[in-house]
Amino acid sequence: MESSLNQMKIYKILIGLLGMLLFAVSSAQAQKSIHDEQKEKQWKSMENGPWDFAPDWYYYFLHKDYSGAEKYWKWRGFKSGYHIRFKENKSDVKRIMPTRMTSEETQNQKMKKAESERAYIEELYKEEVARTADRNVDLTYSSFKGDFNQMQESISDGLLFCLKKSKGKMKFQVEQLSKENEVLCADIAYIHKTGVGYELENSKREKAYLEMKKRMETLVSRTAHLVGMAQVYY
């Protein structure tokens, strides 16, 4: 009999503890729900949602400057009374969404500018690489090589003829033309050089070769004139 009474007491204690536990869990969930709702309203107000806070009287008394809370009378018959509403224009803080959007836009503009500058520098680099390759290879000499060789052969044959025809009496004139021809050939050889220290764009090489060609044509003409004199006087 006494054992049965003890068991009943234990059951009552367990039932009581279980009831208290269920009450505590339900209260915690209710508080969590209320707390989450309050946080949600606050975050929406600071982002781009409606300007609203909860609990309203709490923000009116303790965070009026922050929330822009104001009290107003609302007529609802027997339910008339004071209510709280929140005015964003009365708050001493601003939404963070416009600032965040502005910050993101600024960052996007900076990234676009950086990408534009990178593309510009890359283009300059490619142009410089192309110019470097152009300066290190003589692509124009082959267009003048045949004319140069032909004119050099004419000059050599003409000067040699003058020496033989005059039996050395035209040595001075021949040496003068030979020295001028040596300087001309040295200039052409210098223009034709490539590699470190001899970088020259092909457009400039071509212009220089044209000038050398004119000088050589003049030298050929003078040699021909000297040949004519040798034929007449010797």
Provide the percentage of residues in the chain whose pLDDT is more than 90. 34
Question: For residues 2 and 190, which has the higher predicted lDDT (pLDDT)?
Answer: 190
Distance between CA 121 and CA 134 in Å, rounded?
20
pLDDT per residue as tens digits for the range 206-222: 999 999 999 999 999 99
Q: How confident is the model at residue 4 (pLDDT cuts 50, 70, 90)?
A: low
Q: Where are the domains of the chain?
A: 2-90, 95-135, 138-233
Question: For residues 197 and 166, which has the higher predicted lDDT (pLDDT)?
Answer: 166
Q: How confident is the model at residue 196 (pLDDT cuts 50, 70, 90)?
A: confident
Give the least confident one: 27-36, 135-144, 169-178, 200-209: 27-36
Mean pLDDT on 120-149: 81
pLDDT above 50: residue 167: yes
pLDDT per residue as tens digits for the range 93-129: 666 555 555 566 777 787 877 788 777 777 776 776 6
pLDDT above 60: residue 33: no
Supply the pLDDT for residue 195. Answer: 77
> Could you tell me the pTM of the whole model?
0.49
Supply the pLDDT for residue 51. Answer: 62
Supply the pLDDT for residue 146. Answer: 95
Give the least confident one: 68-77, 145-154, 166-175: 68-77
Mean pLDDT on 128-157: 87
String of DSSP letters for the chain: -HHHHHHHHHHHHHHHHHHHHHHHHHHHHHHHHHHHHHHHHHHHHHTTS----SSHHHHHHH-HHHHTEEEEEE--GGG-EEEEEE-GGG-SS--HHHHHHHHHHHHHHHHHHHHHHHHHHHHHHHHHHHHHHHHTS--SHHHHHHHHHHHHHHHHHHHHHHHHHHTTTTHHHHHHHHHHHHHHHHHHHHHH--STT----HHHHHHHHHHHHHHHHHHHHHHHHHHHHHHHH-
Q: How confident is the model at residue 50 (pLDDT cuts 50, 70, 90)?
A: low
